[in-house]
Chains A and B, each alone.
Chain A
Amino acid sequence: MIITGDDTEEICKLQKQLVIDFEMKNLGGLKYFFGIEVARSRRGIFLSRRKDVLDLLTEVGMLDCKPADTPIVQNQKLG
Chain B
Amino acid sequence: MTTRGLSDPHIDFAHKLSSYHIPCGVHEALAYKKWSLAIQEEMEVLNRNKIWNLILLLNEKKIVGCKWVFSIKHKVDSSIKRYKARLVANGYTQTYGIDYQETFSPVAKLNTVRVLLSLAANLDWPLHQFDVKNAFLHKDIKEEIYMDIPSGYISSSPGIVCRLQRALYGLKQLPRAWFGRFSMAMRKCGFQQSNSDHTFFLK
Contacts and interface: CB of A to CB of B under 8 A. Distances in A.
14 contacts: A1-B132, A3-B130, A4-B125, A4-B128, A14-B191, A25-B130, A27-B129, A27-B130, A29-B127, A36-B113, A40-B121, A54-B13, A63-B6, A65-B5
A10 B126 CA distance: 12
B22 interface: no
Contact of A34 (B113, B185, B191): B113
Contacts, number: 119
Interface in B18-43: 18
Interface of A: 1-6, 8, 10-11, 13-15, 17-18, 21-34, 36-38, 40, 44-45, 47, 51, 54-55, 58, 61, 63-66
Contacts of A33: 113, 129
A24 B6 contact: no
- The 8 nearest A-B residue pairs measured at CB: A30-B127, A45-B121, A64-B2, A27-B129, A64-B4, A3-B128, A1-B130, A23-B133
Interface residues of B, number: 41
Contacts of B134: 23
Main SS class of interface, A: mixed
A54 B14 contact: yes
A32 to B, nearest CB: 7
A21 B183 CA distance: 12
Given A4-B126, A8-B126, A38-B117, A25 B131 contact: yes
Interface of B: 1-6, 10, 13-14, 17-18, 76, 108, 110, 113-114, 116-121, 123, 125-135, 138, 182, 185, 188-189, 191, 203
B130 A11 contact: no
A34 B155 CA distance: 39
